Amino acid sequence: MAEDKATREKLLDSAKREFMEKGYMKASLRTICKNAGVTTGALYFFFQGKEDLLGELVEEPLKGLTALIQHHFAEEAETVTGPVSLGADTADVRAAKEIVRFMYQYYDVFLILLTKSQGSRYEDIVSHFADWGEEHYRTLMGQVGESGVPNLDEYIIHWMIYTQINAFTHLLMHEPDVEKALAHIEKIVVFLVSGWNGMFGLEI
């Protein structure tokens, strides 16, 4: 039964374990095949090579996450009309929790993506998300107008976005339990919004 599982699946499983353990670069296709109980040729029947193997493992969850974030970005763009309130309201928390929930469905995959993909075409994935976040931020700012919003220099914006992303990375790395992670993210949002408001000179 368990051994009936299709070769492709066995390879993806084995690859996931190997990438997790050694990281993309140090991962050995030989080992992946051996642990899957298949020969190298089989791997190359299903995948085009090392990079493609990682790709197949990762692409779908990645698209899912992208869609999810896009959704939240759009929502936020509709909501924000006045000066960026950004209070610790439930909208932010709800969005963050949804993301957390989604990422924990593909726990291993996102862990690999965020911390074990050095050497692959995904090694700069965080940068891509950050750029994207920055773009979204600028759109938001444009909507609101510059009324009452202090001039945050590029660098600080960049850093804040990175910090947000790192919050998710840290969660995956240090909190294996989803429920606990969901509890943590709530506090983290409080922290981030407080920091944000602090920078704007607003009360919390």
Chain positions contacting a copy of itself, by CB under 8 A: 23, 25-26, 118-119, 153, 155-156, 158-160, 162-163, 166-167, 170-171, 174-175, 180, 184, 187-188, 190-199, 203-204
Nearer to a copy of itself, 75 or 131 (CB): 131
| Rounded least distance, CB 9 to DNA, Å | 10
Q: Which does 196 bind (CB under 5 to 8 A by kind): DNA, a copy of itself, none?
A: a copy of itself
| Rounded least distance, CB 56 to DNA, Å | 13
How many angstroms separate the Cα of 159 from the Cα of each of 89, 147, 167? 23, 23, 12
In the list 21, 28, 87, 183, the residue contacting DNA (rule: CB under 7 A) is 28
| Rounded least distance, CB 117 to DNA, Å | 14
| Rounded least distance, CB 81 to a copy of itself, Å | 24
Nearer to DNA, 3 or 203 (CB): 3
SS3 content of the chain, % helix, strand, coil (to 5): 75, 0, 25
The residues, ordered by sequence, that sit 6+ positions from 196 with a Cβ below 8 Å of its Cβ are 86, 160
Contact 172, 112 (CB under 8 A): no
Contact 39, 18 (CB under 8 A): no
7 binds DNA (CB under 7 A): yes
In the list 16, 50, 72, 136, the residue contacting DNA (rule: CB under 7 A) is 50
What is the Cα–Cα distance from 18 to 179, expressed in whole angstroms? 27
What is the Cα–Cα distance from 64 to 62, expressed in whole angstroms? 5
Residue type, 148: G
